[in-house]
Structure 1
Amino acid sequence: MSRFEKLSHVIWHCQYHLVRVPKYRVRVLNGAVGTEVFNCIQVCCSQLGCNVVELNVQLDHVHLLVKVPPKRSISKLVGTVKGKSVLRVFTRFPYLRQKPYCGNHFWAKGYCVDTVGVDAEMIRKYVKYQEKQERLQQEINFRH
C-alpha cells in the first residue's frame, strides 16, 4: 500500500505536525472541553478533506499530525479549526467566556507547524539513482 494519496491530477503525501495552545497556555483542555476540542478538530479536518493521522489533546496544548491535500493551505486549515472550535467550546461551555484570561479569545494567536516527510538523505539518494533505475527498467522492458 502506497503512502501517497491521489487526486484527479496529482499524487501527494503532504503531512504536517501542528501545535496549538490556549491563550496564556491556560490548562483548560481537560474533561468535556478537551473532548469537544478533539471532536471539533476531527470534524473540521474531515470537512476540509484532510486526514487526521494522530491527535492528542493535552491540558494546555494540542498536537495534530495531519495529511493535507496540496489544494488546501495550512493557514486555511488552522484558521478553520481555530474558528469553529472556539465557537463550539464557547457555545457548549459559556462559563469559559467569563474567565478573565479568555474573554472572547480561546486560542493564542500563533501556532507551530512542521512538515513531516521522508529523510532528506533518502530523497538525495533517490534523485541521484533514479535515472539508473529507469534505464535498467527500460532494458528489461525492451528484452520482453
Structure 2
Amino acid sequence: MSRYAKNSGAVFALKYHLVWCPKYRRSVLVDGIAKRLDQLIREVANEFEMTVHAMEIMPDHVHLFVESDPRWCVAEIVNRFKGRSSRILRSEFPVLRSRLPTLWSRSYYAGTVGHVSEETVRRYIENQTGK
C-alpha cells in the first residue's frame, strides 16, 4: 500500500481528524442510533471515495479519521457526513426530533494528519533554489 493516493491530476495524502457533537452536546449517540450512524458515515465515505481509517462514536460526540482526495474541502466533507446522517437519523429515530431542534451543532473540529512535520516542510521550502 502506497503512502500516497493518486487521481487524474494529483498525488496526495490528505488525512483529517474530524470531531463533531450533537446539538447541546446531548448524549443521544447510543445503541441503535450509534450503529446506524456508523453505517451512514461509511456509506457517505464510500460514495465520495473517502477512506475511513478510524471512527469512534461516543454518546456525545464523533471522532473520525478520514482520508479524501483534493476534490473535497474539509467543510464539504464534514457537511456531507453531518447533513446526510442528520436527515436520515432524524427520520428513522423520532426521539431525535423531539429532543433536539437539529441533530448536530454547527461547529466541528478539523485537524490534518501528515507524514512530515511542519518544520520539515519549512526547511524543504527554505532550501529550494531558483534553478
Q: TM-score, normalised by structure 1?
A: 0.81
Which amino acid in structure 2 is aligned with residue 79 of structure 1?
A: N
CA distance in 2, matches of 1:19, 1:75: 12
SS of equivalent to 1:64: strand
Is 1:120 the equivalent of 2:118?
Answer: yes
Q: Report the RMSD for the aligned CA atoms in angstroms.
A: 1.8
What's the counterpart of residue 23 of structure 2?
23
What percentage of aligned pairs have identical amino acids? Answer: 33
Alpha-carbon offset, residue 120 of structure 1: 2.2
Question: In structure 1, what residue type is equivalent to 2:121?
Answer: I
Alignment equivalent of 1:110, drawn from 107, 111, 125: 107
Alignment TM-score, normalising by the size of structure 2: 0.88
Q: Distance in 2 between matches of 1:130 and 1:47?
A: 39
Q: By percentage of residues, which structure has more helix? A: 1
Matched, 1:36 2:36: yes
1:62 deviates by 0.3
CA contact (8 A) 1:36 1:88 kept: no
What amino acid maps onto 1:4 in structure 2? Y
Check conservation: 1:49, 1:68, Cα contact below 8 A: yes
For residues 45 and 2 of structure 1, the distance between their equivalents in structure 2, rounded to whole angstroms, comes to 20
- Structure 1 segments of 4+ aligned residues over 3 angstroms from their partners: 121-131
The equivalent residue for 1:96 is 96
Deviation for aligned residue 1:75 = 1.2
Letter in 1 for 2:108: Y
**RCO higher in 1 or 2 (8 Å CA, sep ≥ 6)?**
2
Q: Is 1:69–2:66 an aligned residue pair?
A: no
Q: Which runs of 5+ in 1 are unaligned?
A: 132-144
The secondary structure found in structure 2 opposite 1:9 is: coil
| Structure 2 CA distance for aligned equivalents of residues 129 and 67 of structure 1 | 29
